Structure 1
C-alpha cells in the first residue's frame, strides 16, 4: 500500500472539469529522483531545490578534493545529495506545487494511482452533493457547582 498525496489548483469550484487540474503523486522514496536528481528536479520544476542541490554538490566535490579522497570514496560522498533528493522527492514536489498556487486536498492509502484518484474523487463528489448541516450556536450555561480553588475537591468553608 502506498500513500498518495493529492493537490488541487487554486480556486474552490467543485466541478468535474476542475478535476483534470489535480496532481496526484506517491509519497516515499523515488528511485528516479535518486538516480537522476538533476533531470527529475528540472522535470518537476523544483527550481529552488535544483539550485540547492547544485550548490551542495559543488561544496561536496570541493571538500572531497580538499580531503584528497580517492575516486570510490569521492563518488560515495557525491551520492549523499542524491539520497536526500530520493527520500525527500515528495516533499520537494509538494512545496513546488504550493509555491505555484496549489493546495493540499487530501491523501489516500491505496495500491495504485488510479485507485487513489477513484477513491478521492468519489469522496470529493459525495461531499459536493451533500451540503453541511447547519450547527446551532452553543449556549453558555452557568455552573451550579461551587467554585473550587486549589487542589482540594471541596469548596472552602
Structure 2
C-alpha cells in the first residue's frame, strides 16, 4: 500500500465537476526523479528546486576538482543531489503546487492512483452532501443522582 496525496485547485466549491483539476501523486521514493532529476523537475514545474539542484551540482563539481577526486568518487559525490531529489520528490511537488494556489485536500492509502482517487472522491462527495435531518428523540430524565469523580457511586 502506498500513501497518495491529493491536492485541490484554488476555490472552495465542492462538486465532482471540479474533480479533473485535482492532482494525485504518490508519496515516497521516485526512481525517475533519481535517475533524471533535471527532466523530472522541469516536467513537474519545480523551478526553485531545479535552480537549487543545478547550484548544488556546480558546487560539487568545484569541490571534486578542488579535492582532486578520481572519477569513481566524483561520480558518487555527484549522485548525492539525485538521491535527495528522489527521496524528496513528493515534497518538492507538493510545495510547487502550493505556490501555484493548490491546497492539500487529503491523503489516502491505496495500491494504485485509481484506487486512491475512488476512495478519496467517495468520501469527499459524501462530506459535501448535507446530512439528513434526524428525528428528535425525547429527552430522558436522569435516574441517577449527580455524581462527581471517576468512580460514580450514589451518595450513602
Q: Please tell me the TM-score bracket, short chain as reference.
A: 0.7 to 0.9
Question: 1:68/1:132 Cα in 2 relative to 1: closer, same or farther (>3 Å)?
Answer: farther
Question: Over aligned residue pairs, what C-alpha RMSD do you find?
Answer: 1.4
After superposing on structure 2, the runs of 4+ consecutive aligned residues of structure 1 that deviate more than 4 Å are: none
Instruction: Give TM-score, length-normalised by structure 2.
Output: 0.83
CA distance, structure 2, for counterparts of residue 65 and residue 101 of structure 1: 42
Instruction: Indicate yes or no: 2:9 matched with 1:9.
Output: yes
CA distance, structure 2, for counterparts of residue 130 and residue 123 of structure 1: 13
Deviation at 1:99, TM superposition (A): 0.0
Instruction: Indicate yes or no: 2:42 matched with 1:62.
Output: no
What stretches of structure 2 of length at least 5 have no aligned partner? 134-147, 149-156
Question: 1:47/1:23 Cα in 2 relative to 1: closer, same or farther (>3 Å)?
Answer: same
Please give the residue correspondences for 1:54-133 in structure 2 after superposition, counting only pairs within 5 Å: 54-131=54-131
Aligned counterpart, 2:139: none
CA distance, structure 2, for counterparts of residue 128 and residue 10 of structure 1: 17
Aligned counterpart, 2:49: 49
How many pairs were matched up?
134
Deviation at 1:14, TM superposition (A): 1.1
Instruction: Give TM-score, length-normalised by structure 1.
Output: 0.83
Deviation at 1:76, TM superposition (A): 0.4
What stretches of structure 1 of length at least 5 have no aligned partner? 134-144, 146-157
